[in-house]
Structure 1
Amino acid sequence: MKTVARAVATFFFVLLFPTLAGAASFDAAALSPLWGVPFAGILLSLALMPLLAPHFWHHHYGKVAAAWALAFLLPFGVAYGAPFAGEQLLHALVGEYIPFVVLLTALYTVAGGIHIRGNLHGAPGLNTGILAIGAVLASLMGTTGASMLLIRPLIRANDNRRHRVHVVVFFIFIVSNVGGSLTPLGDPPLFLGFLNGVDFFWTLRHLLPETLLVVGVLLVLFWFLDRFYYRQEGVLPVDPTPDTPGIGFDGARNFWLLGVIVALVLMSGLWKSPVSFEILGTHVGLPGLVRDLGLVGITLLSLAITPDKVHADNRFSWAPMAEVAKLFAGIFLTIIPVIAMLRAGEHGPFGAVVAAVTRADGQPDPAMYFWATGLLSAFLDNAPTYLVFFNTAGGNAGTLMTTHADTLAAISAGAVFMGACTYIGNAPNMMVKAIADERGMRMPGFFGYMAWSGGILLPLFILSTLIFFR
């Protein structure tokens, strides 16, 4: 029995490390594609287990993420040595994961400290106006922050209407996704690009026409659809939350904190300081360190100055952030070998992927990047998917922002826009659905929602491809 076990172990070792004899160096081109299995495993778990085993996933998603992370980290440590594996782990945590989670936590906390008081009448004009405001706020305070701020008052405004599902569906399209495409604050994939060297205002300059087209068409379609339902429907005999003449904000001091968050992120991108620190080979610049410490301070300050009643009215809890933090810890670790293999280009294990998004003349194909990034973002998660194709395109921010600006625009638009295609494409999608379900709305299931997104969004994305990404 021991002989069989030893033979199996030897087989898999040779399969994974065909060129290694003591693993003296890290040669990404020589890696087996099987190193990508933990990354694929955690993303497929995220996509399928909430549907197939919801009870198990709800209670054990952190353990699942940890298991996939260890499935990569332990063999990697055996192959390349614990010190080198530790360096890669630290680089993933300090260089990308911690700044990513710190920003999301700050936005989530500050937005959760603002309660919109009052209840307006959910007529088509008001609903369209809220969606338009949400689209602007999404790039300023993040899709998560804008969604958490506006979804509850939008549901209250429409709680006496018979047809309300379309309101939430379009809210997910516009506020939870497409609206966040103009700044690194807007959506997690763009912040990862910012951490990898993309200028803060680059997306605003290069994605504004695409965003205006998609958001504009969606707002017009929504107004016509909402007007149709509004004219043909009656209202409930009793309005659960009667309309009030005005609107106000509790916890409004948090708006100032949102301004400080924007200033801190801007500062970290514009301030070029020679001061830096090296932590076991990981470079930590002073501007990034000041930004992250400032964001932690803002989070704590928001918790201190926000009245308990505001959090209670918003039903604020840490469960959504805990889920994001645990899952993305596993994602950022398991993506390490995938990024390395993609950076190896056409001669690496994922040469076929690189070839599929590359034209015959060797130049990247923006249309293919838009759809490849977008479709994977829809069914997996848009932040790691962005990172994968950012590196497939070369991973050099300077080159991507200039020579291949159309390719970077395609990657960015694909990740942000098509995250709206499914509930699992972007974290706020599931949060908004959960809140709507909690308030008694019968939201469509996974495939029902895809029927909405397929019928409305896919034609828009085809139009965007023909206009912007040919």
Structure 2
Amino acid sequence: MLLAQAAPAQAASLDGSQLSVLWAVPFVGILLSIAIWPLVAPQFWHHHFGKIAAAWALAFLVPFALTFGPAVAAEGFVHALLAEYIPFILLLTALFTVSGGIYIRGNLHGTPVLNTGILLVGGILASIMGTTGASMLLIRPLIRANDNRKSSAHVVIFFIFIVSNIGGSLTPLGDPPLFLGFLKGITFFWTAAHIWPDTLFLMVVLLIMFFLLDSWMYKNEGVRREDPTPDDARFGFDGAINFVLLGCVVALVLMSGVWKPGVVFNIYGTDVALPGVVRDIGMVVVTFISLAITPRGVHASNQFNWEPMKEVAKLFAGIFLTIIPVIAMLQAGVNGPFGAVVRAVTNADGSPNPAMYFWATGILSGFLDNAPTYLVFFNTAGGDPVQLMGPLATTLAAISAGAVFMGALTYIGNAPNLMVKAIAEDRGVKMPSFFGYMAWSFGILVPLFVILTFLFFR
């Protein structure tokens, strides 16, 4: 009712420098809920996570509307909905549906060599079809290949590291932060040309670490005698027509970045460009076409259901709303409550510090949404694509690498992380808790990121 009172004209802007850090409490609350409830009350969380996310969203939105007025609240709500949440969730839904309509037939056996090969292929595909598309395509056959292993959680954890995050670092199609940079004027192949050594280093080291760990576990634990998956199917693809639809998704994303008709609709202070509208409508069409043409047997074989997508949609709805004041405070720069973060990435002479940009962008991306975090530090570094691709190339590389690589630090750092976790748990894999996963990610990835800093961002 409060939002409905806001005039449809240009709403007042939110000044993050005037906000108290207390406005971040709902955002912290939803993060702690995601971390703690599945651990202490898994059944309650499973049945009520949507209500909990909605409660935290209202805990921010209602006091915010009462304090700053319905117009400011409406502007933030509409911007989060139209500019961020709807495009985000439609793209994920299309990739989830299309990849769920492709069944990789055959009973692969989860040996260390095969598992390492799947992670390698997934890491390569992540920059071609996006981390979400590659994750949704390969996570089911990977879990099925290891369904007779006594322990397979480590396989899924390294899958999240490599396929759901680090592998998507080379093109704007790989991860949303890089696509935002593409829209801001960074050329398509710039990232691949400048951070491929960083990506190669992480991929090679992680694949070697995984192979050694998986070999040790395979040798010491062995496998169960019974294999839940029949061994009589020949390797192949069912629902292969969805590869064409996957190409349509890629084309729609590229179109929205290349086509510039200059037609923009202003809705409650949020500019919605025509290419974005066409892209989003196209994602809906692709989703329904995939559902219509995919044989039911393919979905049954994939154990396809909407539960992982529902969880991501509900939780990120709360995250995108409660993050509004957090991003505003970051965008206020040195004048905002988080001014110390901005000052930390700048040298005494005023020049940017690439190592600090890497860590500041990365740590915040691990706990916030990495796309707006990328934009914050992109603008903090000047926001001029010509300068950032030229004299400040090391700084832009640090921002890009931090946003993509460190999304692997938590389950919420990148949307595919949560989706992969939900699919794995739905198929009986006992995944670690929020903090349990962080023990893995911090123990394995942070030392590698420290080495990466000395190698590339000094």
**1:204 and 2:192 are equivalent in the alignment:** yes
Partners of 1:38 and 1:394 in 2: CA distance? 30
What residue in structure 2 maps to residue 75 of structure 1? Answer: 63
Give 1:282's aligned residue. Answer: 270
Distance across 1 between alignment mates of 2:36 and 2:356: 26
Q: 1:25 to 1:419 in 2, by over 3 A?
A: closer
Paired AA for residue 127 in structure 1:
N
**How many correspondences in the alignment?**
448
Shift of the 53–396 alpha-carbon distance from structure 1 to 2, 3 Å rule, reads farther
In the aligned structure 1, how far is the partner of 2:278 from the partner of 2:146? Answer: 43
Q: In structure 1, how many angstroms separate the alpha carbons of the residues matched to 2:363 and 2:282?
A: 35
1:48–1:419 distance in 2 versus 1, CA, 3 Å: farther
* Farther off after superposition, 25-34 or 174-183: 25-34
Corresponding residue of 1:256: 244
Contact 2:131 2:168 survives alignment (8 Å) = yes
CA contact (8 A) 2:14 2:72 kept: no
Once residues 409 and 369 of structure 1 are traced to their aligned partners in structure 2, the CA distance between those partners, rounded to angstroms, is: 9
Does the alignment pair 1:294 with 2:282?
Answer: yes
Contact 1:29 1:348 in 2 (8 A): yes
What amino acid is aligned across from residue 469 of structure 1 in structure 2? F
Task: Report the more deviating stretch, 121-130 or 378-387.
Answer: 378-387
User: 1:159-212 deviations in whole A, cap 9, x for unaligned?
Assistant: 444564443332222112211222343334444555666555443333322112
Q: CA deviation at 1:25?
A: 7.1
Cα pair distance change 1:69/1:236, threshold 3 Å = closer
In the alignment, is residue 333 of structure 1 matched against residue 321 of structure 2?
yes
**Paired position in structure 2 for 1:247:** 235
Letter in 1 for 2:239: G
SS of structure 1 residue aligned to 2:261: coil
2:342–2:380 contact (8 Å) kept in structure 1:
yes
Maintained 8 Å contact 1:115/1:310: yes
**In the alignment, which of 94, 97, 112 is matched to residue 100 of structure 2?**
112
The answer to whether structure 1 residue 407 and structure 2 residue 389 are counterparts is no
Using the TM superposition, give the Cα deviation of residue 435 of structure 1 relative to its aligned residue in structure 2, in angstroms: 3.9
- Cα deviation code 1:367-422 (max 9, x no counterpart): 22322333344455545554554565566666655554433332332232223234
Give the aligned residue type for 1:292: D
TM-score normalized by structure 1?
A: 0.84
Instruction: Quote how far apart the aligned CAs of 1:67 are.
Output: 2.7
Mark the CA change 1:412 to 1:244 in structure 2 (over 3 Å): closer, same or farther: farther
The more displaced of 346-355 and 429-438 is: 429-438
Quote the offset at 1:260 in angstroms: 0.9
Structure 2 counterpart of 1:39: 27
Match of 1:18 in 2: none
Query: Which moves more between the two structures, 75-84 or 286-295?
Result: 75-84
The answer for the alignment partner of 1:319 in structure 2 is 307
The answer on whether the counterparts of 2:256 and 2:279 sit within 8 Å (CA) in structure 1 is yes
Match of 2:405 among 403, 414, 417: 417
Q: Counterpart amino acid of 2:19?
A: L
Counting aligned pairs with the same residue, the percent is 71
Farther off after superposition, 339-348 or 262-271: 339-348
**Deviates further, 281-290 or 103-112:** 281-290
CA contact (8 A) 2:239 2:298 kept: yes
Report the equivalent of 2:114. Answer: 126
Superimposed CA distance per residue, residues 35-76 of structure 1 (whole angstroms, 9 cap, x where no aligned partner): 333333333333333333433332332233333333333333
2:43 maps to 55
Amino acid at match of 2:23: W
Give matches, 1:154-169, under 5 Å.
154-162=142-150, 164-169=152-157
SS of residue matched to 1:283:
strand
| Deviation of 1:298 (Å) | 0.7
Structure 1 residue 232, shift from structure 2 partner: 6.0
SS in 2 for 1:249: strand
What is the root-mean-square deviation of aligned Cα atoms in Å? Answer: 3.0
Counterpart position of 2:361: 373
**With structure 2 as the length reference, what TM-score do the two structures score?**
0.86
Which residue number corresponds to residue 181 of structure 1?
169
Greater Cα radius of gyration, structure 1 or 2: 1
Aligned residue identity for 2:71: P
Distance 1:55 1:187, change over 3 A: farther
Unaligned runs of 5+ in 1: 1-22
Partner SS state of residue 266, structure 2: strand
The answer to whether 1:355 aligns with 2:351 is: no
- Give the corresponding residue for 1:15: none
Contact 1:177 1:417 in 2 (8 A): yes
Change (3 A) 1:421 1:346: closer
Query: Comparing 362-371 with 265-274, which one deviates more in the overlay?
Result: 362-371
Aligned 8 A contact 2:312 2:419 in 1: no
Contact 2:256 2:276 (8 Å CA) reproduced: yes
Aligned position for 2:205: 217
Contact 1:157/1:243, CA 8 A, preserved across alignment: no
Aligned partner of 2:416 among 421, 425, 428: 428
How far apart in 2 are the matches of 1:83 and 1:140?
41
Residue 35 of structure 2 contacts residue 434 of structure 2 at CA under 8 Å; is this kept in 1?
no
Whole-Å separation in 2 of the counterparts to 1:138 and 1:344: 33
Structure 2 portions without partners, runs of 5+: 1-10
Deviates more, 1:126-135 or 1:80-89: 80-89
SS of 1:277's equivalent? strand
**1:133 CA displacement:** 0.9
**Structure 1 residue 466, shift from structure 2 partner:** 0.9
Displacement of 1:116 in angstroms is 0.7
Using a 3 Å threshold, how does the CA distance of structure 1 residues 239 and 181 change in structure 2: closer, same or farther?
A: same
